[in-house]
A and B are shown apart, each in its own frame.
Chain A
Amino acid sequence: MPRIAEGDAAAYRALVDRHADRLLAFAERLVGDRASAEDVVQDAYLAVWRTAARWTPSAKVSTWLYRIARNAALDRLRRRRPSVDPETVTLIDPTDGPERGLSRRETASAVRRAIDALPERQRTAIVLVHYERRSGADAAEVLGVSVEALESLLSRGRRALRAALEGRRPDLVGGEP
């Protein structure tokens, strides 16, 4: 980070190589569509390039990046909360047969909609811990809350998702549509 703060483009590009894909996945699950997620990641990396001097060694680089990306996503969501059309989301698993694939696509779309419907902080907590596999401490730092508060957000988020998706569970648990 100090090298980036001094304008070292090679160090910056190493940071892109290491984290861009994860940040894109994180952003897409927060904002709900690919185009907005790519804008979020570009906003985040532009902020990194411009403000790298603000990073302090007490913060993990990855946690700092997630925090910047979350702020960029919040900014986008404030300006335009996207309505996700499930039909536009590519969710096909090539290992599935046609019928099974259709069921999984429908289930995935339902999960997508349920996650989109969560309050932002619950959504961010679920995305960080479940999908990004960040530790509770890291996720709490990204959200600027205590670990106890994070666990409360996670519990409430999972309960809301369960309620929204209850009818979908047999699709997967039973193994067949």
Chain B
Amino acid sequence: MSEMTTERVRTLIDAYGADPERWPADERDAARRLVETDPVLSAELADAASFDALLDALPAPAPRPALRVALNAIPDRARLRWSDRLATLWPFGAPWGPAAGLVAAALFGVVIGVTVPDPAAVTDAASSGTTTTVAYDPVAAVAAMASGAADLEYLQ
């Protein structure tokens, strides 16, 4: 812990007010000792205390038994259903829209998978020379570039 300074005590009073119990515990004792030996800080503490008293004019809201009853009823009203469990995974509203999107994306993937020809079957076996034909195979494309092929032709 660094040494307590007048400036730090002033920051504590400005931020937390006059009650040392609100100050950070690891700085409290050192700050309090400094205040006791510094009349200017003592005056600033007294000023902050009067401002704290002003803030305390706003009383604590009183508890209301009816609210407690409503809160205690929440488990009965919202038993963990499947929708609740889904809500823990997807807390941004009804999960059905995103779930439908996920299913549609999966179906699209399957359709693409069964309709697009096997890249190995369309790779131009006679790719000698300056042209290499690569279909939907980025790894092969990178490899071809690295090997210095002059042109790449992507099948659409």
Contacts and interface: CB of A to CB of B under 8 A. Distances in A.
Given A41-B67, A135-B25, A34 B61 contact: yes
A25 B11 contact: no
A9 B75 contact: yes
Contacts of A126: 55
Contact of A16 (B24, B55, B68): B68
Contact of B16 (A115, A152, A154): A154
B74 A49 contact: yes
B78 interface: yes
Nearest to A103: B57
Mostly, the B contact residues are helix
Nearest to B75: A9
Interface residues of A, number: 55
Given A41-B71, A169-B50, A108 B24 contact: no
A74 interface: no
Contacts of A53: 88
A42 interface: yes
B121 interface: no
A20 interface: yes
Contacts of B25: 135
Interface string A42-71: 100110011101100000000000000000
Interface string B50-84: 11111101111111100110111011101110001
Given A50-B88, A93-B59, A107-B57, A155 B74 contact: no
Given A53-B88, A129-B22, A133-B22, A165 B70 contact: no
A158 B15 contact: yes
A93 B32 CA distance: 32
Contacts of B29: none
B50 to A, nearest CB: 5
A42 B70 contact: yes
A123 interface: no
Given A7-B80, A41-B67, A42-B70, A50 B58 contact: no
A137 B60 CA distance: 23
A131 B68 CA distance: 21
A38 interface: yes
A30 B3 CA distance: 36
Contacts of A136: 15-16, 24
Contacts of A81: none
Given A51-B91, A129-B22, A42 B74 contact: yes
A104 B58 CA distance: 9
B54 A20 contact: no
A9 B22 CA distance: 35
27 contacts: A12-B74, A20-B63, A20-B71, A24-B64, A29-B61, A34-B61, A41-B67, A42-B71, A46-B78, A53-B88, A111-B54, A112-B58, A129-B15, A129-B16, A130-B52, A133-B21, A135-B24, A136-B16, A150-B15, A151-B11, A151-B15, A154-B14, A154-B16, A158-B14, A159-B14, A168-B54, A169-B50
